Amino acid sequence: MPNSSDIDLAVLQNSLSPKNRKWHFLPEIDSTNAEITRLLPSHPPEEELIVIADYQTGGKGRSGRVWHSAPGTGIYLSMLIRPNLSPEQLPIVTLIAGLATAIAVNEFISKPAQLKWPNDLLLNNKKIAGVLCEYHATEVPAVVIGIGINVNQIQFPDDIKNIATSLKLESGLETDRTTLIKQLVTQLDFQYTELKNNKVQTIIDNWTRHSDLFGKSISINKGDQSIIGKAIRLDPLGRLVILNESGKEIALDSGEVRIQRK
């Protein structure tokens, strides 16, 4: 099918590609993460892979949630990596993906978007991007990094219209998705190299600089439990450390953060 989208794969391939990286552009797919998962069994471990879609009919969020993926307006991108990490270090991959997204998106707006642990990027307290990393215990373990960015949307469905925003809604300007994808993949490559070079503390410090979460009172839902405290830092495994109401530090590896508004 011809590509009539503003996403120009040839430009991306020519300006970014290491020789062993394959790019797929799909006008429509259920989910770019699901597509990589399907390709995984026949995919040579030494080859890098990026899948981009113009439209996702079944975009995935965490825990079975939906990522609304309207055609022709957002970025829906997945990248396959094979990091040599122990399972408890995997949350760091979510951090590098969020950090790369924040740095790329912030090139296009005057007021910087802020990371919310573990996987959200917020602008004016509304979600502009989200990350979904999925681990596959294949012979050479693989991680699919999925990133959704709201770019040129001018409206959202009723269920998310009060919590979602886009670059267009915030800046009034149309953004060229090819240019943004180029920045995003450049940043992903850079942050992933930092990770491969064991610069985890640098990644955590940089993530922290792109977040306004620390020092704030938050509640975290974990299953049916709700923990209240102050977000104080990320630990070297990328866990969120909070100071709870009894003055005890607790490190959390997952959960749904809510900032308490006073």
Name the site residues for ligand BT5 (rule: CB under 6 A): 31-33, 56, 59-62, 65-68, 76-78, 119, 127, 130-132, 146-148, 150, 160, 163-164
Cβ atoms 129, 148 nearer than 8 A = yes
Residue whose tokens read 């552009």: 25
Cβ nearer to ligand BT5, comparing 38 with 65: 65
Residue closest to ligand BT5 when measured from CB atoms:
130
CA distance 102 to 110: 13
Least distance to ligand BT5, CB of residue 64, Å: 9
Least distance to ligand BT5, CB of residue 176, Å: 19
Least distance to ligand BT5, CB of residue 228, Å: 20
Cβ nearer to ligand BT5, comparing 83 with 146: 146
Cβ nearer to ligand BT5, comparing 183 with 199: 183
- Dihedral of CA 184/187/193/199: which sign? negative
Least distance to ligand BT5, CB of residue 189, Å: 18
Least distance to ligand BT5, CB of residue 221, Å: 12
Cβ nearer to ligand BT5, comparing 174 with 245: 174
Cβ nearer to ligand BT5, comparing 201 with 222: 222
CA distance 10 to 216: 44
Residue 107's closest CA among 15, 180, 212, 16? 180
Least distance to ligand BT5, CB of residue 248, Å: 27
Cβ nearer to ligand BT5, comparing 125 with 138: 125
CA separation, residue 176 to residues 71, 75, 84, 128, 233 (Å)? 15, 10, 34, 16, 35
How many other C-beta atoms are found inside a 10 Å radius of the C-beta of residue 205?
11
CA separation, residue 261 to residues 13, 139, 240 (Å)? 45, 46, 19
